Amino acid sequence: MEAMSEGQAVAPRPAARAAIDERTLEMLDFPAVRARLAGCCASELGRRLAEAVTPSTSPRQVAIDQAETAEARAMADGGAAPGLHGIHDVAAICVRAHRGGRCEAGEILLAAETAAACRRLRTHFARRAGTAGTAPNPQVSRGAATALGTPPPPAAERLADYALRLGEFRVFEDAVARALDPEGSVRDEASPALATLRRKQRVLKARVRERLEAMVRSPALAPYLQDPIVTMRHDRFVVPVRADARAQVPGVVHDASSSGATVFVEPMPVLELNNDLRRAQAEEEAEVERILAALSEALGRISDPMLASLDILAHLDLVFARAELARQMDARPFELAAEPLCDLVRARHPLLAAPVPVDVRVGTDFDVLVVTGPNTGGKTVALKTVGLFACMAQSGLQLPVGDGTRMGVFRQLFCDVGDDQGVAQNLSTFSSHMGRVVAILSTLEPGALVLLDEMGAGTDPAEGAALATAILESLLARGARCIATTHASELKAFAYREPRVQNASVDFDAETLAPTYRLIIGLPGGSHALQIASRLGLAGDVTERARALLSPGERHVETLIAGMAEDERRLRDARAAAESARAEVDRLRRELDERVRAAEVRRTDVLAEARSQAAEILRQARREADDALRALRRAQAGSVADVADLEASRTAIRQQLDELAEESPPTE
């Protein structure tokens, strides 16, 4: 990848198309996630991008964003994240310089620090890629800031592709480093003329001070001075003279004390030297202005690639902020589905202090999920978790979920949580809900995600349930994915009748009145109103009378739901016991495998030790045999009896060698 030279520009990343209105995002608490994301950014550029993040509705863009986040997370987890310090928003400075305006030294220094950040990032990613650059890439002007001209291919390292497009501004960096010190002051070495002028000033200052110090020490002048010191007023060296002795010290008065007792006089003998010093200072100021103007002109020449590089720096900052937020939330990648669906496994709401993991899905084997159960049972939390996770996923953020999670890209996202009733608007709860539903149905497209809280509430229960059923039928027919919470029993029956609609309930402990926040898909929930009222202290005869007033059908439905809930709990307990037993079997199997491996290691060690000992015995026996053979040869000239004894020894040793060879373990 070829970097921008000082005069080229690059195509920045496109802005995501927003099809989810800000009010919906606020209902789902997405601004709080954006604030946390902004807090993870290293620069103001990145923070502004984070604060403006909106979910994309383009599956291709979401895939690119998620891949970039995963790459940044892998780099950060591996200790290879780049340093993002030294990035400043110098866009306005660059524009002013491009238009011929002069920049202050501190502003130029900020631009140089940003240029250095570009260089560090290029170097970091080039080293990771093992190359300082690859084939040239077409560059596009900053005017294409909202269209990605040549996005990186899916298999490429996207972040390196961006970083290697950053501009190279080493000439500008070096010029600034020669001219300005880290505090933003112009160095003497910025130009030969400046160095000469500053040397001249030092000489003149020394001469003026030397002349004045001699004067204040003089007995002739000392009686007229307030203090025997040399000071400065209006950039001129002066001495403090008593006001009543002003006529005794010829010179120019430049200031007076607040009491009027002292005047600060520039004596005539140093007047010309001070004039020379002021001329040298004026010439120095003019030279500094010339140097800053030259640096401003140099910045103006690179303003286009610098501005384009700012877009890339901001984007890289945002991507690594997404990775850091994922680390803080203990989030992870998920499978990006081709269809608009949500299948969350052990999803934990990132803004709750102690969230209970919830499993929830829609758009998989059904398109509408009807969630019932008591108030405070977690219905709204489950609903908002789905909506928030859809926003996060489509904004390039990883999700705090378990393995097996899948998320698709929804073309639209609508949410109706809470109400806007108020005297000023003259709206009831029902009216506010209906107003939102009307707006949703008027703009709904296939593949939208619709989240509706407390359907059928705020009006006559029968009419509200009928209207809610009709709305769900319309959403289903128009290809939407919908999660709706309700207390209406008619919607539970509707979910049983329709094949693409499913019931769900939130688990609730009627004994303790405590919600468990678990979502049980496939089982409708009861309101538990009578149990809750009884537990809260309502008289038993009142609750019994209320139960008697229920229709036989309603009592039968509640009994069926209670029985199904109990069956589900028993099944859940049995499943938990089976999982526990399976885990115990797996543990025992692992323990047995470990023992078998340990025994095999011990057997191998024993065999190796035995082979080693046998080999040593064989070597010793061979040495003894060799010694006997040598002795035999030496004794060939000796007696026959000696030779016979040696032959007998040799035979015995060879027999021992044969026996040892037969007894030693085979070599594996």
Band (pLDDT 50/70/90 cuts) for residue 100 is very high
**Average confidence (pLDDT) over 30-45:** 96
**Average confidence (pLDDT) over 332-342:** 95
Q: List b or e across 64-85, with b for residues whose CB sees 16 or more CB atoms inside 10 angstroms.
A: bbbbbbbbbbebbeeeebbebe
**Average confidence (pLDDT) over 5-9:** 49
Q: Token pair for residue 408? A: 């698709």
pLDDT of residue 312: 96
Q: What percentage of the chain has pLDDT greater than the value 70?
A: 75
pLDDT of residue 331: 96
pLDDT of residue 610: 78
Q: Does the pLDDT value for residue 588 go beyond 90?
A: no
Q: Token pair for residue 86? A: 């030294």
pLDDT of residue 601: 83
Band (pLDDT 50/70/90 cuts) for residue 421 is very low
pLDDT of residue 598: 83
Of 131, 114, 130, 120, nearest to 163 by C-alpha is 120
213-257 per-position pLDDT tens digit:
778 788 878 787 878 888 888 888 888 888 877 778 888 888 888
* pTM > 0.75: yes or no: no
Specify the amino acid at residue 662. E
21 or 1: whose pLDDT is higher?
Answer: 21
**Average confidence (pLDDT) over 421-431:** 54
Of 338, 334, 370, 333, nearest to 481 by C-alpha is 370
Residues 6+ apart with CB under 8 A from 59: 336, 338, 408, 409
Burial of 644: CB neighbours in 10 Å, binned 0-12, 13-18, 19+: exposed
Band (pLDDT 50/70/90 cuts) for residue 142 is very low
Q: Does the pLDDT value for residue 567 go beyond 60?
A: no
β-sheet bridge partners, residue 503: 370
Indicate the average pLDDT of the chain: 81
Which span out of 11-15, 246-250, 499-503 was modeled with the highest average pLDDT? 499-503
Q: Where are the beta strands (DSSP E) in 488-611?
A: 501-509, 514-521
| 3-state secondary structure (DSSP) of residue 134 | coil
pLDDT of residue 155: 39
Q: Can you tell me the distance from the alpha carbon of 154 to that of 158, in angstroms, rounded to the nearest whole number?
A: 8
416 or 11: whose pLDDT is higher?
Answer: 416
Q: Can you tell me the distance from the alpha carbon of 532 to that of 2, in angstroms, rounded to the nearest whole number?
A: 70
Band (pLDDT 50/70/90 cuts) for residue 511 is low
Burial of 119: CB neighbours in 10 Å, binned 0-12, 13-18, 19+: middle
534 or 89: whose pLDDT is higher?
Answer: 89
Q: Can you tell me the distance from the alpha carbon of 273 to that of 207, in angstroms, rounded to the nearest whole number?
A: 8
